[in-house]
């Protein structure tokens, strides 16, 4: 079977509300799988891109890179997946496969032309890519993840971006017993970070604007929870952390947060705000501190993260909506009014 036209929700132009449309999906190639999407998460990156906060976008734009569903057909050469398998797709759907990064399983950093992003990108066939706010998607099997049986598809969808974006810097930063880790911002990414760092065995502190999410933060595994609106927080916690992961979607005073690192500590920035953030050299020199960045994770690491989540019973805390509520959900995400990830039921993309 080959699907050529599928239902989707798209922004027809920059900053425009999303609306029902149809988009083409290519016929199944040798190594392609057809996925019937069950759920698509709403990531703040979807909003940044629809609103062109990262630069010019490609329109119509069908966002969605937190995709969970079921394989309904496979190309003749597919060996990794079969009809009925529960699978996920994250932020990219192809890459050069030949550069050092691709060979190392870090396809997101592909230097052979860059990874093909799941949407707002151009496939290696020259066609625009359309994301997960859709009923079906066709993806090369090498860029598809297996969702373990223990994970429900709705709570698994956000793991494909929010989960891996926190898992990678936490695992690489050796979050574990004896490590003091702070997660800045408890939104979609941050609430995954709290659960993952706790499951890795680290001592976890949440730094949120207010104490409004404190109870939930502690339930998710935080050992401490502080309000960043209170200047005393920065005095009390000075020099405390080994690793800080900043998930905030807006500009922060990075110098203030670097001051919370102990000697040799690292602040990994994963938030991607529209504007540059200044840093004083002295915030880094004093205490030999590092400021780093991290982007999602490669295919092997994403599978490792999904298996880790299944083993530890970790999923996203979600609010499930239908497609007609996406525009309202975008405004609520920007306003910080989401506990903690919106997930769209994909059947509702049909209109």
Residue owning tokens 């099997």: 141
Query: Hey, which residues between 317 and 346 contact ligand NAP (CB under 6 A)?
Result: 333, 336, 338
Q: How far is the CB of 213 from ligand NAP (least distance, A)?
A: 6
Rounded distance between C-alpha atoms, residue 135 and residue 147, angstroms: 18
Q: Which of 270, 264, 253 lies closest to 180 in space, CA to CA?
A: 264
* 21 or 208: CB nearest ligand NAP: 208
Element holding 44 (H helix, E strand): helix 44-50
CA atoms within 13 A on the CB side of 80: 15
Per-residue x/- track, 259-288, ligand NAP (CB under 6 A): -----------xxxx---------------
Neighbours of 29 (CB within 10 A): 15
Which residues on adjacent β-strands are paired with residue 192? none
Q: How far apart are CA 44 and CA 42, in angstroms?
A: 7
Q: Which of 18, 42, 43, 200 binds Zn ion (CB under 5 A)?
A: 43
Of all residues in this chain, which one has the CB nearest to ligand NAP in the complex?
187
**What secondary structure letter does DSSP report for 53?**
T
Q: Which two tokens stand for residue 154?
A: 């709705």
Give the alpha-carbon dihedral of 335, 340, 342, 345, to 10 degrees. -160
295 in contact with ligand NAP (CB under 6 A)? yes
Q: Which is nearer to Zn ion, 151 or 160 (CB)?
A: 160
**Alpha-carbon distance 300 to 171, whole Å?**
13
CA atoms of 196 and 74, how far apart (whole Å): 33
Which 8-state DSSP code applies to residue 348?
Answer: G
Of these, 21, 45, 129, 168, which contacts Zn ion (CB under 5 A)?
45
Q: CB under 6 A: which stretch of 9-17, 18-26, 186-194, 320-328 binds ligand NAP?
A: 186-194
Instruction: Choose one: 40-48, 122-130, 258-266, 281-289; the region binding ligand NAP (CB under 6 A).
Output: 40-48
**Residues 211-230 interacting with ligand NAP (rule: CB under 6 A):** 213
d(CA 106, CA 264): 26
Shortest distance, CB of residue 52 to ligand NAP, whole angstroms?
A: 13
Comparing CB distances to Zn ion, the nearer of 43 and 50 is: 43
188 lines the binding site for ligand NAP (CB under 6 A) = yes
Residues 139-178, interacting with Zn ion (CB under 5 A): 161
With CB under 5 to 8 Å by kind, the binding choice for 64 among Zn ion, ligand NAP, none is none
Residues that bind ligand NAP (CB under 6 A): 43-45, 48, 161-162, 165, 185-190, 208-209, 213, 247-250, 270-273, 294-296, 333, 336, 338
Residues that bind Zn ion (CB under 5 A): 43, 45, 161
């Amino acid at each position: 079977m080959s699907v050529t036209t599928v239902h989707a929700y798209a922004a027809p132009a920059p900053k425009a509300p999303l609306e029902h449309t149809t988009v083409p999906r290519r016929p199944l190639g040798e190594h392609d799988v057809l996925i019937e999407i069950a759920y698509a998460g709403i990531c703040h990156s979807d909003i940044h891109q629809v609103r062109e906060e990262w630069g010019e976008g490609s329109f119509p734009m069908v966002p969605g890179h937190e995709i969970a569903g079921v394989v309904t057909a496979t190309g003749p050469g597919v060996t990794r997946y079969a009809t009925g398998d529960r699978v996920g797709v994250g932020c990219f759907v192809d890459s050069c496969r030949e550069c050092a990064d691709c060979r190392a399983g870090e396809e997101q950093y592909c230097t052979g032309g860059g990874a093909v992003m799941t949407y707002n990108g151009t496939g290696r066939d020259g066609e625009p890519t359309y994301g997960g706010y859709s009923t079906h998607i066709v993806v090369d099997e090498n860029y598809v993840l297996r969702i373990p049986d223990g994970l429900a598809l709705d709570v698994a969808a956000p793991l494909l971006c929010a989960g891996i974006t926190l898992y990678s810097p936490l695992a690489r930063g050796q979050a574990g017993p004896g490590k003091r880790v702070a997660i800045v911002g408890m939104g979609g990414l941050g609430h995954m970070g709290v659960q993952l760092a706790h499951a890795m065995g680290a001592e976890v502190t949440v730094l949120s604007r207010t104490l409004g999410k404190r109870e939930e933060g502690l339930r998710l595994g935080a050992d401490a929870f502080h309000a960043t609106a209170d200047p005393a927080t920065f005095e009390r916690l000075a020099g405390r952390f080994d690793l800080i992961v900043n998930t905030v979607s807006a500009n922060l005073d990075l110098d203030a947060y670097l001051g919370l690192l102990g000697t040799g500590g690292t602040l990994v920035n994963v938030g991607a705000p529209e504007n540059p953030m200044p840093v004083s050299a002295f915030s880094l020199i004093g205490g030999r501190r590092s400021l780093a960045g991290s982007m999602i994770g490669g295919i092997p690491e994403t599978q490792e993260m999904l298996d880790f989540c299944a083993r530890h019973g970790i999923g996203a805390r979600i609010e499930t909506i239908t497609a007609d509520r996406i525009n309202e959900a975008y405004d609520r995400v920007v306003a910080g009014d989401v506990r903690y990830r919106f997930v769209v039921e994909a059947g509702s993309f049909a209109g």
